[in-house]
Structure 1
Amino acid sequence: MDVDPSDVLDLVCVGFGPANIALAVALDELWPAARVKFLERSSVTHWQPGMLLDGADIQNSPIRDLVTPRNPRSRYTFTNYLHENGRLFKHLNLPSHFPLRKEFARYIQWVAEQVPADVEYDRDVDGVSVVRTSGGQRLVESRTADGRVCHARSIVVAPGRTANIPPVFRHLDTPSVFHTSTYLNGIAGLDHDYTGTIAVVGASQSSAEVVLDLVGRLPKAKIVNVMSGYGYRLKDTSPFSEEVYFPEFVSYYFNASPEGKQRLRDQLRPTNYSSADRDVIDALYMRIHEDELDGRSRLTMRTNRRIDGARVDGDRVVLEMVEQITGEHDALPVDRLILATGYRDLGVHEREEQLPPLLADLAGILRVDDQLGLSVAFDYRVEAASSARGIPPIYINGLCETTHGLGDAGSFSLLALRSKEIVQSVRRALTADAGTLVDHSYALAVPAGSTR
């Protein structure tokens, strides 16, 4: 095919959420000469718009922002955002270790507006392929839903995580059932006097936050929290466990055997999954206690429940449940069903997907590991299948918890360092003179045996 060389980019980046905004900052500071375009499906930059709840915080230090771990002197730090917006001393005076989620969302939007990135909004990329030009050059071709085509020598995909919808709920085609990622939109039509029954399925931070929000927002509604365990568990915030968010842990985890990786995941799961922070758990427990004192029954906990069936019955959804200790069966009809069931990661097991849907057209040329799913190198470059040598560099920015550990589990902790790793790798791949590379003082630790 004929492609005008002047139209070929060095890099096309799909998505402009936190991961690729951090990448845009790294490109601006480390490789400003690169020709890069970002394609974003939304019309504006936003972060977790469905969960910007009153009083909810970000659960991690704001120093672990889009850039500070890589370059503390950057103008794109959270601290500089506060300074430039006249909010630094207000923030320093807050009686909390962590910023409100609403404020961090504004910081992310501010960076997106400040960084000199070429971003095209309302560009929903629905396909990625590898093409060969008439001159023999292989390029990445990205196609948008409106028919536009973009060619580049490499690509970074940051599509975000796919909401996990357990199989028992997948056939429910009704707006009354929705995931917490769209929570605020899903309840937008309910007024203060709403008296229906709302079920929240899950026992995570998100489910606890949603339950608390519903009780305050809809005081006349009946809220039922359904979970498979005995009750909410405290998140493991031991400083020893929190070292999983150190860059050294990425190397340690990456080099572990498949059995070692599984052992680490089993040990460290409570640092991020099926658990909640103490302040949220305490607030929820106190709310239940106060309702009992006042003779109200707004909030009911259905614990140790396995949901075996879910069906639409008129305007309601009926959950068929089994109490896993007593074996008792019960049915719960609800008017709204909110799924706090987490997100899918790359992999081959339940709650995982073999590769991001966006890369489905490349399934035949990308290497897939039988145990881990899509094969991703230490520098986040996707490895090619043995029969597909010489394909352009393809990178995954995020979603790599299975290969790189919990730092890639939707956390901000390693965004800045991951961005540097990707920028340096892309530049090595596309630039003949490796001596022009930037300082490595903030680079991730290189694992033994790495082919970086």
Structure 2
Amino acid sequence: MSSNALHDPSSTPLDPLSDHRIHDVIGIGFGPANLALAIALEEENTGLDALFLESSAAHTPWQSGMMLPGSDIQNHPVRDLVSLRNPRSRYSFINFLFENGRLLDHLNLPTEFPLRKEYAQYIDWVAGHFADRVEYGTRVTEVEVVPGADGPLHRVTDARGRQRYARTLVVGTGRTPYIPAPFDTVDDPRVCHLTRFLPTLDALPGTPRRIAVVGGSQSAVELTLDLSHRFPDAQITVWARSYALREKDTSPFSEEGYFPQFTAYYHRASRDAKRTLDAYMRPTNYAAADGDVLRELYVKMYEQRLDGDPRIRIRGNRQLTDVQPGPDGVRLAARETVTGETEEDHADLVVLATGFRDLGPGERQDRFPRAVAALADRFAYDADGHLRVRADYLAEPVDATVTPPLFLNGLCESTHGIGDAGSFSLLSLRAATLAGALREPAAPAATGSPLPLAA
């Protein structure tokens, strides 16, 4: 048998700790995307045996590293895990508020969007209803394709060596943090991506006097405001590649990019047309911030100048070219992109508000989801190197006879557009599409039966 041939698990001694049943579906990750799918599978009575594997411990709060006081989700609360698909669902945000005795109090809030910490409580509340279908603290380390009696199967191995089998995989791990150069080679506790913000603060040995925030996004502005409240005497510098911080495009016309009709339109478009659409839609979600936090930051900076003590500064049109951690702080070198002038700065803490990687061949992208990277060559790519993904989120295999189905949940911005950009906007409708696609194959005669290994 060649090294590329499928491994026959019948030749391997069975681990008594492993699950040798065949699940209809294994979902890798149990964040909001796969949680919405679990709800859809239940409410639409698919009858599928689905198991979800989540690397985080049970009850780890959603976005725990960015649970900043006063921060909101920038998303209408009815665009929750279920409501666009099933507004009568018991798992809606409105019902969460009702069952927890907070509906009237919440409706009386003088804010447009829910607080991030309340939405995290909502997600945890819903996840609690599905505890029997998810294994927490289970980090997937390997995914292989192996032959089974009725066709190829996915074999999923976790960090403890336990193996599970499934006819279909759904990858809903979320996108990986984007760490740009020169920070991608730095391993220092004083430099962190926004996803590790609060744990990094907790681990700092002292109070930072000089802080650098890298990026010009909503998160960059939120972090700057939070840091200025926590450390009022600190000098905070925001390093942005654009000339200045920019307000998001929240026009209702542009927001129709988060409609399912736009998703279908985008999916049919050529790669060149997709690039044009991306350029238009980008300010609705990237490298821009909501007007409320921009106004708060501007007023704060203005007041500091009035007091003769400007502690927050924005360094726009800057490309950071070097970073050198040392005993007295982290040295940063930057180049002004218009004039070419160079400058240096020092920081006791550097926070990277630099976003996340999408799928694709570019420098800011991943060719294939990292959790299942070993399967990458089994799937088809377009002429530009983008993974080919069907409208129903099925990754197109090179040969479906030897590769079982693999679906992507919340990872398909490069093929499905801005509505797949990690927000809640189309989460519930995408779950409906996935549930329908998962239900299409004929249901197995004996779900949960012992694994019928190929001879």
TM-score, normalization by structure 2? 0.91
Contact 1:127 1:143 in 2 (8 A): yes
Contact 1:13 1:158 in 2 (8 A): yes
| Range with greater deviation from structure 2 (293-302 or 221-230) | 293-302
Q: Following superposition of structure 1 onto structure 2, how do residues 117-196 of structure 1 map, counting pairs within 5 Å?
A: 117-133=132-148, 135=149, 137-190=151-204, 194-196=207-209
Contact 2:152 2:401 in 1 (8 A): no
Separation (CA, whole Å) in 2 of partners of 1:426 and 1:172: 42
| Range with greater deviation from structure 2 (41-50 or 60-69) | 41-50
1:173 aligned partner, one-letter code: D
Separation (CA, whole Å) in 2 of partners of 1:36 and 1:267: 38
| Range with greater deviation from structure 2 (63-72 or 109-118) | 109-118
SS across alignment from 2:303: helix
Of 63, 79, 87, the residue aligned with 1:48 is: 63
Contact 1:14 1:38 in 2 (8 A): yes
| Match in the other structure for 2:106 | 91
1:228 aligned partner, one-letter code: R
Contact 2:208 2:349 in 1 (8 A): no
| Range with greater deviation from structure 2 (322-331 or 87-96) | 322-331
Quick one: higher RCO (CA 8 Å, sep 6+), 1 or 2?
Answer: 2
Q: Following superposition of structure 1 onto structure 2, how do residues 327-366 of structure 1 map, counting pairs within 5 Å?
A: 327-366=340-379
Against the structure 1 CA distance between its residues 396 and 277, is the aligned structure 2 distance closer, same or farther, given a 3 Å change threshold? same
| Match in the other structure for 1:256 | 269
2:435 aligned partner, one-letter code: V
Of 420, 431, 436, the residue aligned with 1:419 is: 431
| Range with greater deviation from structure 2 (367-376 or 103-112) | 367-376
1:107 aligned partner, one-letter code: Y
Post-superposition Cα deviations, 1:192-213, rounded to whole Å, max 9, x if no partner, equal: x825211001000000000000
In the alignment, structure 1 residue 38 sits paired with structure 2 residue 56: no
| Match in the other structure for 1:450 | none
1:282 aligned partner, one-letter code: R
| Match in the other structure for 2:76 | 61
Separation (CA, whole Å) in 2 of partners of 1:300 and 1:115: 46
Unaligned runs of 5+ in 1: 434-452
In the alignment, structure 1 residue 78 sits paired with structure 2 residue 93: yes
Separation (CA, whole Å) in 1 of partners of 2:225 and 2:413: 29
Post-superposition Cα deviations, 1:49-70, rounded to whole Å, max 9, x if no partner, equal: 1111111111010000000000
1:102 aligned partner, one-letter code: K
Contact 2:36 2:82 in 1 (8 A): yes
Question: C-alpha root-mean-square deviation of aligned residues, in Å?
Answer: 1.8
Separation (CA, whole Å) in 2 of partners of 1:21 and 1:203: 30
Separation (CA, whole Å) in 2 of partners of 1:49 and 1:330: 35
| Match in the other structure for 1:225 | 238
In the TM superposition, what is the alpha-carbon distance from 1:327 to its structure 2 partner? 2.4
| Match in the other structure for 2:317 | 304
In the TM superposition, what is the alpha-carbon distance from 1:382 to its structure 2 partner? 0.8
SS across alignment from 1:156: strand
TM-score, normalization by structure 1? 0.92
| Match in the other structure for 2:329 | 316
Contact 2:239 2:318 in 1 (8 A): yes
| Match in the other structure for 2:33 | 19
In the TM superposition, what is the alpha-carbon distance from 1:167 to its structure 2 partner? 2.2
Of 376, 381, 398, the residue aligned with 2:410 is: 398
SS across alignment from 1:337: strand
Separation (CA, whole Å) in 1 of partners of 2:393 and 2:256: 21
What count of residue pairs does the alignment treat as equivalent?
430
In the TM superposition, what is the alpha-carbon distance from 1:372 to its structure 2 partner? 5.0
Identity %: 46
2:134 aligned partner, one-letter code: V
Separation (CA, whole Å) in 2 of partners of 1:432 and 1:238: 48
1:29 aligned partner, one-letter code: E
In the alignment, structure 1 residue 211 sits paired with structure 2 residue 227: no
Separation (CA, whole Å) in 2 of partners of 1:156 and 1:122: 18
Separation (CA, whole Å) in 1 of partners of 2:385 and 2:76: 30
Of 201, 205, 208, the residue aligned with 2:214 is: 201
Contact 2:20 2:164 in 1 (8 A): no
| Match in the other structure for 2:450 | none
| Range with greater deviation from structure 2 (171-180 or 114-123) | 114-123
In the TM superposition, what is the alpha-carbon distance from 1:350 to its structure 2 partner? 2.0
In the TM superposition, what is the alpha-carbon distance from 1:409 to its structure 2 partner? 0.3
In the TM superposition, what is the alpha-carbon distance from 1:360 to its structure 2 partner? 1.3
